[in-house]
Amino acid sequence: MERTIGLLGGGQLGQMLCEAANPLGIKIVILDAEKSPAKQVNAKNDHIDGSFIDAEKIRELARQVDILTVEIEHVDTVVLEEIAERGVEILGADGKKTVKKVEVQPSWRTIRTIQDKFLQKDHLAENGVRTAISKAVQSTEEDLQAFGREMGYPFMLKARKDAYDGRGNYPVKSASDIKDALMALKGRGLYAEKWANFKMELAVMVVKTEDGTSTNGTATVAYPAVETIHEDSICKLVYAPARGVSQRIQREAQELAKKAVGSLWGKGVFGVELFLMEDGELIVNEIAPRPHNSGHYTIEACPTFSQYKSQLLSILGLMPSFPDSRIPAMFPATIMLNILGGASKPAHNEIMKHAIGIPRAALHMYGKESKPARKIGHITIVADSMAQGESLVQPLLSMTDAMRAERKGLPTPKPSTAISSKPSASRQPLVAVTMGSDSDLPVLKPGLALLTTLDIPFFVTITSAHRTPMKMHEFASTAASKGFKVIIAAAGGAAHLPGMIASATPLPVVGVPVKGSTLDGMDSLLSIVQMPRGVPVSCVAINNSINAALTAARILGTSDPVIQERLVKYAKDMEHEVIGKAERLEKVGFTEY
Amino acid sequence: MERTIGLLGGGQLGQMLCEAANPLGIKIVILDAEKSPAKQVNAKNDHIDGSFIDAEKIRELARQVDILTVEIEHVDTVVLEEIAERGVEILGADGKKTVKKVEVQPSWRTIRTIQDKFLQKDHLAENGVRTAISKAVQSTEEDLQAFGREMGYPFMLKARKDAYDGRGNYPVKSASDIKDALMALKGRGLYAEKWANFKMELAVMVVKTEDGTSTNGTATVAYPAVETIHEDSICKLVYAPARGVSQRIQREAQELAKKAVGSLWGKGVFGVELFLMEDGELIVNEIAPRPHNSGHYTIEACPTFSQYKSQLLSILGLMPSFPDSRIPAMFPATIMLNILGGASKPAHNEIMKHAIGIPRAALHMYGKESKPARKIGHITIVADSMAQGESLVQPLLSMTDAMRAERKGLPTPKPSTAISSKPSASRQPLVAVTMGSDSDLPVLKPGLALLTTLDIPFFVTITSAHRTPMKMHEFASTAASKGFKVIIAAAGGAAHLPGMIASATPLPVVGVPVKGSTLDGMDSLLSIVQMPRGVPVSCVAINNSINAALTAARILGTSDPVIQERLVKYAKDMEHEVIGKAERLEKVGFTEY
């Protein structure tokens, strides 16, 4: 590639950017302290030692490159504006001073807007992007009391600038907190923010591919919406895709993030943090104008198109187009766990060793000196299902929890609490079970119990083909987009339910004929099994909900080896049970048995 | 990680080894020329500038590290033997000379055996590994004439040492070639090899995890067998897995490669090149004691466990165990294309730009100066099917073909010829269709036609529950491991086939009752649908193979959005067709219709 990139900041984001750039033949010159992580993996160029907030050093970097970008937003935007608008002076071949054009991506205007969190929120609100309601305030008790009266308690008092990983935020629970809050954030520009009652934090990486602004989402490409779990105000875990979130919300989160990023200036990759509120609404929390912790998982989950490659290609104007303007993850489930420095320097050695021993885990250590709670590495696990990923991450999570306890002087947590203490990771139900009438429930119960035994999350409801036809249709036609993989439907008599559901969904539908008071179930069986060509129902034996549950499990097992293994074990257990009975019968004789 | 690795050689293999080592926190010190590719991505350590065949430089390297390894086999094994057996002298903390132990992995004995290709073949033959028949010969016409008389023409005359990328090989087509062959390989140790009539070249990367030797394949782990295409005696393309190769041959290739590597000494990753002969037999061609060009694809195809990570962990004794001692590829199809330097230095710019624009392609440039036919980079494409991969690689292949033509002064090749000359691709069938008797075939045909329309690859056979019970059981119990996802089974009368198959597989089984000459199909229906609890069959309507095919498609659609979309379209088309019929009926009236 002909154009050289100058990078302000050489931390782990810059390091992973260089790891993506090296094989693409893209040259990066780094401005940061000597031996910073990014410099460790990039010996191709003469880097600049110094601070990425030193204006003269930034100019020195600009002289050597064609395009400037950042791995951190806390940079001097005045000098970036100067360079972008007026260029930088260099000595020409003839020994005379001349001005060289240097691009800044994303635009200094975007970085400046984002640096000041209040300006950022104001900008988003002006562009019709939902955010938490916020207001610039003076550092006075009166101003905060007025905000509290208007918006209610609790609310958040936040520093406008230089705030990250929870530093610069103060929760004001009641008027009596106001004094302490002002003391804690003394000397900083402030704004107050209405408390956001979210049930989940999401994040979407968005790539902006054109310089111009637009809020209709054109010229932006989105990665999937992921779930982020924070602890001590630092990102701890990322689940990709977000767990238990419907296709509709997944899509809305991408759209909202694309709209927000589209409103900004310049090109590059952006991390958009969102809140999913209790009422299902999505709002933007904040935006980072650079690769983001919530996008690390893309290195493995999108092995040919990580967030780092997107950053490089977008700022160079080389980004290809993607179908539906989305970059899909290549695995059904990916989990990223941050490694924070422990109480002692070697505290993370155990988790490194453990991670190296997991075939589906990728360890990323940043080559940074370990300090307590400093981000020094991360682990990414790719899985065939979220359940598989969760079980692989469990022991690692126990280790980071133990490291945190040691760091904070807390008692060592019990290993088993590591996952259960997480914000109710409500799992996406995979099987939807419905019946024509509650009188069918006793027939279904053994099957539901078996799904529970097999650890397959399901959802149960009643939808009658004849008494609630509209509800039934709505249920069937939205089941796929809600994330269900299989539907089990039970009905008796003129049992139309399974077939009618099958007519409104592309999902496999398993029908359970329920035996009624006449005809011995033959009416139900034939109503369910004799479907016309084009609309398939998988029929099991009369009243046999066990086999319906097993059919659903076998279907899920086609793409989830963990479930398929459980089914192999189930068959073995069944075989042993019957062989045991046979042995007893042979031993005690048929009269005694 | 506590132990530091010393690497002899810093080319692209060493570079990719460092790219794998950096995030794992593994330190590598490189001995090679200044600015060699590996040093460009590893600025963490003070490397040694010099030649990896210079004994004193190797000793200097050994003093700094705990374990020595190679990225090239053409090294000085005498000094490696000396270091491994006697250690290396260092100055102790007290200023006195002391001896430090340094491991050499893989063993110098392995490297020495492999360096001399005749010794290598002899060693393999002694250990019961099939190879081409070969014989050490003197550089005399008499010796070669004797070989020709015994083994026939053509045969290969090969240099025993320092041969690679076809250099050092001379095909002797008849006795009259002997003089020229001796001239071409003058001054080198020689051996003659019987001509191998192979139909395909395969390669398997094998990881050896223990020091001891054993030919039963324990302590070795294999990646999938891939297909390699050579051109001008240089690797051009790698298809993973090998195209059109049965599961049995895939397995046999892995077993043979594991046996060969197991017979060698020490730990590490090995590239095993094999020939698949016209008669279906497999023989080993040669072995590389290091990461290998045929394993580059693992960087993306096994995103958490590439050949480079395997090399690092195996020599450090940290390799985890893998189920069935195999490391699976995470994608159905991966294709790797080498980029060789063109006639001019910028000749490869176009292919770099094109590769960067393909979302499913990863470009790896090695940071080497371009020289004609020098390996300067590669491109890996990950795909959901080999057909998808082939269509993505096609334009890239046309570009490398054009570069080759320019390099060799040949006329520009037609773009379309690039792929059609390749062996035909065969896709993994996802649905296994079986029937109790060939008389059931007419009932199944509409379903098979629909699977074809939906572009779902399937396999059809006959397995009678009553007439071929063993074959049926073998079919059912191996279906999952053969990569099938769903089984469709059709039978009539006392229709036991679907249920019996379901008893021997964890896959979903769709049963099609076939209507016989009596009882109107009710016998078949009840035999199939009324399965006992624990062994589920998904039954469709009598004779309705269309719905069986649709059920299979819906099942596959739960994990393949492309198939699910096709089903949505299928339902829409069906709706339009019936609405069209209704409109016509309403228009022309029921008498005209």
Interface confidence (ipTM) of the complex: 0.76
Whether B555 and A550 lie within 8 Å, measured CB to CB: no
pLDDT for the residue numbered B167? 80
3-state secondary structure of A69: strand
Q: Answer whether A484's CB lies under 8 Å from A501's CB.
A: no
Tell me whether residue A142 is exposed, middle or buried, using C-beta atoms within 10 angstroms of its C-beta: 0 to 12, 13 to 18, 19 or more: exposed
A239 contact partners, CB below 8 Å, separation of at least 6: A226, A227, A229, A333, A334, A335, A386, A389, A425
Distance from CA of B26 to the nearest CA of A (A): 9
Among A534, A541, A571, select the one facing B506 at the smallest CB separation.
A571
Which of A341, A331, A387 has its CA nearest to residue A362? A331
pLDDT tens for chain A, residues 1 to 593: 689 999 999 999 999 999 999 999 999 999 999 999 999 999 888 899 999 999 999 999 999 999 999 999 999 999 999 999 999 999 888 889 999 999 999 999 999 999 999 999 999 999 999 999 999 999 999 999 999 999 999 999 999 998 777 788 899 999 999 999 999 999 999 999 999 889 999 999 999 999 999 878 789 999 999 999 999 889 999 999 999 888 889 999 999 999 999 999 999 999 999 999 988 899 999 999 999 999 999 999 999 999 999 999 999 999 999 988 999 999 999 999 999 999 999 999 999 999 999 999 999 999 999 999 999 999 999 998 888 899 999 999 999 999 999 999 988 776 543 343 333 345 678 999 999 999 999 999 999 999 999 999 999 999 998 888 889 999 999 999 888 999 999 999 999 999 999 999 999 999 999 999 889 999 999 999 999 999 999 999 999 999 999 999 999 999 888 899 899 999 999 999 999 999 999 999 888 88
Whether A550 and B540 lie within 8 Å, measured CB to CB: no
Distance from CA of A43 to the nearest CA of B (A): 5
B568 contact partners, CB below 8 Å, separation of at least 6: A506
Distance, C-alpha B584 to centroid of its chain: 56
Report d(CA A327, CA A311) in Å as an integer: 13
Distance from CA of B313 to the nearest CA of A (A): 8
* Residues of chain A contacting residue B331, judged by C-beta atoms under 8 Å apart: 330
* Residues of chain B contacting residue A379, judged by C-beta atoms under 8 Å apart: none
3-state secondary structure of A580: helix
Ranges of H-type helices in A508-544: 522-529
Distance from CA of A136 to the nearest CA of B (A): 42
Whether A360 and B568 lie within 8 Å, measured CB to CB: no
Among B1, B507, B533, select the one facing A558 at the smallest CB separation.
B507
* Residues of chain A contacting residue B512, judged by C-beta atoms under 8 Å apart: none
The domains located in chain B, with CATH, are 4-105 (3.40.50.20), 133-194 (3.30.1490.20), 198-408 (3.30.470.20), 431-559 (3.40.50.1970)
**3-state SS track over A252-280:** HHHHHHHHHHHCCCCCEEEEEEEEEECCC
Give the range among A164-168, B134-138, B177-181, B342-346 with minimum mean pLDDT.
A164-168
Q: Which residue has the tokens 């000494």?
A: B265
pTM: 0.77
* Residues of chain B contacting residue A485, judged by C-beta atoms under 8 Å apart: 558-559
Q: Answer whether A233's CB lies under 8 Å from A171's CB.
A: no
Helix (H) or strand (E) holding A191: strand A190-194
* Residues of chain B contacting residue A24, judged by C-beta atoms under 8 Å apart: 352, 356, 363, 365
Interface test mutation site (partner A, options B297, B304, B570, max chain A beta carbons within 10 A): B304
pLDDT for the residue numbered B1? 61
Report d(CA A150, CA A144) in Å as an integer: 10
Whether B558 and A554 lie within 8 Å, measured CB to CB: no
Among B510, B556, B558, select the one facing A538 at the smallest CB separation.
B510
Regarding beta strands B5-8 and A88-91, do their DSSP bridges make them parallel or antiparallel, or are they unpaired? unpaired
What sign has the CA pseudo-torsion B355, B361, B367, B372? negative
Dump pLDDT digits (tens) for B534-551. Answer: 999 999 999 999 999 999
* Residues of chain B contacting residue A330, judged by C-beta atoms under 8 Å apart: 330-331, 382
Helix (H) or strand (E) holding B587: helix B561-592
Other residues' Cβ atoms within 10 Å of the Cβ of residue A569: 12
Q: Which residue has the tokens 């126990």?
A: A398
